[in-house]
Amino acid sequence: MIRIGKLEGEIRDVVNDRASFGYELVADEDAWNRLTSSLDLLGDTALGLLDFEERKFGQPESGEAYLRFYGVVQALVLQQEAIATIYSVLYRKNLDVDTKSSWEALRRFRNRAVGHPLDGRSYSLAGDLRTFVARAVMTPEEILTISFEEKTGAQRSERFNLSKHYDGYKTEAITVLQEIRAEQDRRRPDGDAV
């Protein structure tokens, strides 16, 4: 997460030098505001996630552990939104993310276990899913979720390795941010890299 934070700072430095980068965006106030608020969100989430890397979930089965779990998963999706917005403002197109990536795995997990645990959409005709996180199995390496299908009552469980997907996501996010940073250099009117 340190590298993501550093890339956020590098991208911000170029953005804040309006003479070299902002020439395209100054006239579009909404694009400028989307970009700068996304940079703030990227920096804030990098700071919070760095704390998670150092302290994980805290004491097992404590209130802090649950706040950290829900907060980390939510912060990852917020960070994804920030990166995707920075990309879309700069490139004027949406970021295309591989459906088999850790980026998407984290997003699906968040939506099911944290974002919409009471009315998550099922990919079958079984209706909504009711999902909970099993308290007995909640570490960064293994999080057990149990879902019940609304219409059939069928139960399914999933063990999710947050650490594995977190590490994969960081690599994917760094790649996108490096691409953004390189594009900033290509677009500089003076042709000089920062």
Q: Could you report the per-residue pLDDT of 12-21, keeping only the tens digit for each?
A: 998 888 666 6
Task: Please give the model's pTM, rounded to 2 decimal places.
Answer: 0.90
Mean pLDDT of the region 102-114: 92
What pLDDT score does 170 carry?
98
Tell me the C-alpha distance between 76 and 49, whole Å: 8
User: Closest Cα partner for 7 from 182, 174, 192?
Assistant: 174
End-to-end CA distance of the chain: 22
Widest distance between CA atoms in the chain: 63
Rounded Cα–Cα distance for residues 174 and 170 (Å): 6
Confidence of residue 123 (pLDDT cuts 50, 70, 90): low
pLDDT at residue 187 tops 70: yes
The letter for the amino acid at 141 is E
pLDDT over 90, % of the chain: 57
- Hey, how many other C-beta atoms are within 10 angstroms of the C-beta on 164? 14
| Greatest mean pLDDT among 38-52, 62-76, 123-137 | 38-52
Neighbours of 170 (CB within 10 A): 20
- List, in sequence order, every beta strand (DSSP E) within the chain: 129-139, 142-149, 155-160
